[in-house]
Amino acid sequence: MNETLPLPTRRDEAWRYADLGALESVWADIAGQRETIDVPAGETASRQIVLEAAEPNVSVRTLDVHVGKGGRFALHCLAIDTDYGRIAVDVRLEDGAHFELGGAILGGCERTLEIVTDVRHDEPNGTSNQVVRSVLADKATGSFLGRIGVARHAQKTDAAQSVKAMLLDRSATANAKPELEIFADDVLCAHGATVGELDKAALFYMASRGIPPKEARRLMLQAFIADAFVSMADNDAREAMETKALAALEALV
């Protein structure tokens, strides 16, 4: 029963940066709710998730994903217009399976938005690639917590994470916590995390070419978040996701 599950605390690393006050208002309704996705061996599946404003303005999505031998699953997500938004994904990969994540966090005001992943390479030859881009303004907080676990016998695993955040205001906060737990010795696993601001030299160059400052900022941010959606195979779905992302960017710049 949902009511038997206690509200998370900051002692739980996966909820370290969450807005627990906002979460408490909906916890009785969402506790224990998880969506299960099972990709059969050799099959390919994809999913897109957009967290938008709702009533109450809190949106939490939790996915349990199992990808069978040689299967592929791609998840692309966008966290934007909600006071507290969270996308949590637990993934288990069998032999030769692949998981692809492309995520963008775009927040302003005092919003708290986060993407949390736990990818477990339980068998050999699995691959995973996670790309997350955040643009944060005002007093917004954007977080990515991503764990990659490689079992002892999961040789030939190839896993990567790329996490980058752009702060439009010094009062915004970006948190990045990539984590690798590897017990196999024949693997390729890498992660990178950066937090920065718009390149002033690039903005000056664009201004010298007659591009208005606001347009220059928008173009640079558009190129920045495009990395999160470049792996989408469905052109129509990618266009729809990018359209929503651009509308959110307009509100920030």
Residue 36: is its pLDDT beyond 90?
yes
Specify which residues 196 forms β-bridges with.
166
| Residue 204 lies inside a defined structural domain of this protein | no
Contact present, 93 and 67 (Cβ < 8 Å): yes
Alpha-carbon distance of 25 to 195, in angstroms, equals 31
- SS3 for 217? helix
Instruction: Look at residue 20 and tell me whether its pLDDT is greater than 60.
Output: yes
Number of folded domains that form the chain: 1
pLDDT of 171: 95
Q: Tell whether 127 is covered by a domain.
A: yes
Domain-embedded: residue 117: yes
Model confidence at 54, in pLDDT bands (50, 70, 90)? low
The 3-state DSSP class for residue 41 equals coil
- Phi first, then psi: give them for residue 8, nearest 5 degrees: -60, 160
pLDDT given for residue 55 in this prediction: 61
pTM of the model: 0.92
Q: What is the mean pLDDT of the chain?
A: 92
Domain contains 213: no
Select from 36, 142, 38 the least CA-distant residue to 85.
Answer: 142
> Is residue 248 domain-resident?
no
Does 245 fall in a domain? no
Q: How confident is the model at residue 4 (pLDDT cuts 50, 70, 90)?
A: low
Structure confidence at residue 2 (pLDDT): 44
Distance CA 75, CA 210 (A): 38
Domain that holds residue 183: 2-197
Q: Apex CA 20: angle with CA 19 and CA 25, to 5°?
A: 105
How many whole angstroms separate alpha carbon 82 and alpha carbon 86?
10
Q: What percent of the chain has pLDDT over 90?
A: 73
